[in-house]
Amino acid sequence: MAQARSRKRRIGMQIAEHATGIIASLLFLAPIVWTVLSAFKPAQESRQPPLPPWPTTGFSVENYATLNTFGDGLWLPAQNSIYVSVMTVVLSVIVSVLAGYGFSRFRFPLKNLLFVLILSTIMIPFQSILTPIFLVLTKIGLHNTLTGLVCVYVTLQLPFSIFMMRNAFDAVPREIEEAARMDGANNVTMLLRVMLPLVWPGIVTIALFAFLGAWNEFLAALVLMTDQSKFTLPIMMTALQSGRFGAIDWGAVQAGVTVMMVPCLVLFLLLQRFYIRGLMAGAVK
């Protein structure tokens, strides 16, 4: 009897856990599905009340065609966002891997103090330093340039990325490094051929964070970019939400949200197993 009750209780707990997971998944997926379906409504139907969320008069790509008529079209802001995001990922990964390896494996004066100073910048609200950033970029001639925007995004990503990579390198047993040293590996060979494959999940994690941050960032791009040809997708979405003559084209807005959302979802789904492992490796020392 006791075993039967225990088994029933265990089955009941499993059912409750699965039901909770399904409900939570549906709550998270509902806005995404709603947005994607609404983007395929005909333009006339998009201006009507949003229920039901799916097209009732047939699927249409009219909203995507309308989206391409705003400003310089869809492709130019998409190009700018791709360039800024990819360069942010590349520079963030290179700098954070080198810095993380240095903080983890080398001894130098004031190492701990320097590391704490780098981490302390996370506590500074980004909005509070926008004016100094604007003035510095203007002084060095990078204001209103995509390169200047990349520099800002990399600067914002580095404290977290360096922290993650230092912890990822700390998680690698030193015996592996000592064995490679006995085989004649120098510092460069050690990093590229021995350490990098072992901390690959951490690299994927910081790369994914950097891409998502740069792809979706709005405030810095809005403040630092005044040339319409340099606008990124989030700035274009602001123009869409402002509407023409005070009328918001909700169909085009939903299409724009879908365009911005798809790369993030695809990357996360492809790299999620590395992402989880990287978070676990970099979360603790």
Model confidence at 31, pLDDT cuts 50, 70, 90, reads confident
Burial label for 82, CB within 10 Å (0-12, 13-18, 19+), is: middle
Higher pLDDT, 99 or 283: 99
Instruction: Using the predicted structure, report yes or no on whether residue 127 has a pLDDT greater than 70.
Output: yes
For residue 279, the model assigns a pLDDT of 58
SS3 content of the chain, % helix, strand, coil (to 5): 80, 0, 20
The alpha helices in 121-249, defined as continuous H runs, are 130-139, 146-170, 174-182, 187-189, 196-198, 200-216, 219-224, 233-242
pLDDT score of 94: 93
Could you tell me which residue, 42 or 75, shows the higher pLDDT? 75
Res. 111: pLDDT tops 70? yes
pLDDT in tens, 219-257: 888 888 888 888 888 888 877 765 555 567 777 778 888
Whole-angstrom CA distances from 70 to 144, 195, 233, 269 are 21, 47, 12, 30
User: pLDDT value at position 276?
Assistant: 64
88 pLDDT band (50/70/90 cuts)? very high
Give the percent of the chain with pLDDT over 70. 85
pLDDT of the residue at 86: 93
Contacts of residue 22, Cβ cutoff 8 Å, sequence gap at least 6: none
Residue 109 has pLDDT above 60, yes or no: yes
What is the average per-residue pLDDT within 14-35? 84
Tell me how crowded residue 163 is: count the other CB atoms within 10 A of its CB. 21
- The region of weakest confidence among 15-19, 52-56, 165-169 is 52-56
Task: Identify the residue with better confidence: 275 or 60.
Answer: 60
Helices 233-242 and 250-283: angle between axes, nearest 10 degrees:
150
Higher-confidence position of 238 and 47: 238
What size, in residues, is the chain?
Answer: 285
Percent of the chain clearing pLDDT 90 (strictly above): 11
Q: What is the mean pLDDT of the chain?
A: 81
Cα 99 to Cα 108: distance, rounded to the nearest angstrom: 13
At position 2, the amino acid (one-letter code) is A
Of the pLDDT bands very low, low, confident and very high (cuts 50, 70, 90), residue 278 is low
pLDDT tens, residue by residue, 143-197: 888 888 999 999 989 998 999 889 888 888 888 877 877 877 777 788 888 888 8
Output 54 or 271, whichever has higher pLDDT. Answer: 271
Buried b / exposed e along 16-26 (16+ C-beta atoms within 10 A): eeeeeeeeeee
Higher pLDDT, 74 or 159: 159
Give the domains, in start order, of the chain with CATH numbers.
Answer: 74-248 (1.10.3720.10)
